[in-house]
Chain A
Amino acid sequence: MLKLALRRVAALIPTLLIIVTVSFAIIRLAPGGPFDEEQGVSPAVRANLDRLYGLDQPLPVQYLRYLRALAHGDFGPSLRQRDFTVSELIGRGLPLSATLGLCAIAVALMAGIPAGIAAASWRGPGADLAVAAIGALGVALPSFVIGPLLALVFGIHLRWLPVAGWQPGAPRYLVLPVLTLALPLAAALARLTRASLLEVLRAPFVRSVRRCCRSRAISAPPSPFSSPARWWWKRCLVSQGPGVTSCKAPSIVTIRSSWA
């Protein structure tokens, strides 16, 4: 398990290198430059600008300079917002994204896994239909649909929570974005939990434990720390990787719809 994690982390570096190279190539090879929209700029001023930003060098030299700057953590100046470096812009946004993402994962884990366990142990009539419907609803309500709907209900009609904005230290601004991110993830987790739990509960070793320890009430799922549960936790956590990264993309969604 540890070897797998280390191997995945080690595979990160070539991936990052590919991403950096491809994005560099695309931006530099595309026609036009960052200063084409400047009007009334004399050629001497253009030449100076190019020299200042290193745009007059041949492309491989620019690439190596970029890599060397990246190795020092310097992403260069922002060409859109001219007064800031890219690192400053990232530094402004990253803590907020990280907070939202981590809170969303925590909420999703706390809500999704117990829901999945409950769904696995619910045996009444119509249980299959209800579980399938709720599971499908969880997939059918993506974050960019839930976000505006939650804002509409809780922000505009009920006025319990603010629709948009951010104030550091005021947790009520966190609630709607975190819910928006957490709900699809919780639904996916609940589905996965239920399916895995049903699979484990059918396994021969669980059935033999049940038969030989009939005095203990093992109609409920086994303890979270017994060995079948440990195997299942591992499977569950390994598949959460995509869930973690998928919290970042929808946070763009919530921020975009809060700008609107």
Chain B
Amino acid sequence: MNDGPTVAAVARRGLWSDARRRLRGNRAASAALIVLAAIALVALIAPALSPWSYDSLDWQHLAQPPGSAAAHWLGTDRLGRDLLVRTLHGVRLSLLLAVLASAVSLVIGVLWGAVAGLAGGRIDGAMMRFVDVLYSLPYLFVVIILTTLFTRGSLIVLAVSLAAVGWLTTARMVRAQTLALRRREFIEAARALGVPPHAILLRHIVPNVLGPVAVYATLIVPQMILFESFLSFLGLGVQEPQASLGNLIFAGAQEMESAPWMLLVPATALVLLLLALNLLGDGLRDAFDPREH
């Protein structure tokens, strides 16, 4: 028996490996991924390396510029708290809140949109009318109401109010995707086989919707960071002595005449974080759904 010429194994080509290849080719997104990993690493490790904690006061060095005083690599604020540790604490808090709020809003949005899309008719109309009404409420109003009803500094309340705003767009998007999926043959086949609707939802619709949702998720996280920083800047979000990038920027803006580093350090951190997340999100979106120019 002859062996024919051995053919080299065919490289695997699927949705994820194609996307990974395109992502690696996108220089901006790859750079953003590296920057993001670096920020995450530093935010996790550096506070343990520094002798200061985010709320410890150093009475000897109040409002020192960066590099001048003992182990305060980025200076101190008006109360003598180390700015580097506070900024990293803020980065951690912002990322945690944003990821939590995004996850919750994605779960709610996907379920709401998928149910509405699958149910159709009056249920769909009612659910989407509810989404429209909530969409037209100004979001600051919702947040102010929630923070007035509950305690101010509570992180849970903040995460809930962030998620309450974020799920609407997800629901709309998922409903549109579901409506497109409904007409496909495999859904028809599943229904003909007598698969109950909740099983169709969980086993067929949701996994197929997850692709665009995953891309949207990487873009919603920076939006959440932005929103949370905005709320903290206004005093509605994270309260002192907890550090969030928003209230660090607010405190820095008040001192910027005499101590500009107090503004520049958290502002740079926020801008870098948002830039990296947005570039990565754009890269992921292009990787999953490339459009040739």
- Chain A residues with CB under 8 Å of chain B are 11-12, 14-15, 18-19, 22-23, 26, 30, 128-129, 132-133, 135-137, 139-142, 144-145, 147-149, 151-152, 156, 198, 245, 249, 252-253, 256-257, 260
Docked-complex contact B234 and A18, CB < 8 angstroms: no
A52 to chain B, nearest CB (A): 25
B228-242 at interface with A (beta carbon < 8 Å): 229-230, 233-234
Given A133-B279, A253-B233; A148-B249 close (CB under 8 Å): yes
A144 to B225, CA, bound (A): 13
**A245: B residues at CB distance < 8 A:** 138
Docked-complex contact B234 and A141, CB < 8 angstroms: no
B201 within 8 A of A: no
Docked-complex contact B137 and A145, CB < 8 angstroms: no
Given A133-B279, A144-B246, A145-B271; A30-B263 close (CB under 8 Å): no
Closest-by-CB residue of B relative to A151 is B256
Give 13 new A-B contacts, CB below 8 A, not counting A144-B246, A148-B249, A260-B250.
A23-B145, A26-B145, A30-B149, A132-B28, A135-B282, A136-B278, A137-B271, A137-B275, A139-B274, A140-B274, A142-B270, A145-B267, A148-B267
Q: Contact mask B244-262 → A, CB, 8 Å, 1/0?
A: 0010011011101100100
A148 to B253, CA, bound (A): 6
Given A129-B27, A133-B28, A257-B250; A144-B230 close (CB under 8 Å): yes
B59 within 8 A of A: no
Chain B interface: which size bin?
Answer: 35 or more
> Binding site of A, secondary structure by majority: helix, strand, loop or mixed?
helix
Docked-complex contact A148 and B252, CB < 8 angstroms: yes
A95 to B148, CA, bound (A): 28
A14 to B130, CA, bound (A): 12
A128 to chain B, nearest CB (A): 8
**B250: A residues at CB distance < 8 A:** 144, 257, 260
B56 to chain A, nearest CB (A): 25
Docked-complex contact A249 and B149, CB < 8 angstroms: no
- Chain B residues with CB under 8 Å of chain A are 27-28, 132-133, 136-138, 140-141, 145, 148-149, 222, 226, 229-230, 233-234, 246, 249-250, 252-254, 256-257, 260, 263, 267, 270-275, 278-279, 282, 293
A142 to B273, CA, bound (A): 12
Docked-complex contact A253 and B230, CB < 8 angstroms: yes
**B28: A residues at CB distance < 8 A:** 128-129, 132-133, 136
A199 to chain B, nearest CB (A): 8
A260 to B234, CA, bound (A): 12
Of the candidates B145, B246, B253, B293, the one having the most CB atoms from chain A within 10 angstroms of its own CB is B253
Of the candidates B132, B246, B273, B275, the one having the most CB atoms from chain A within 10 angstroms of its own CB is B275
Given A156-B256, A257-B250; A15-B136 close (CB under 8 Å): yes
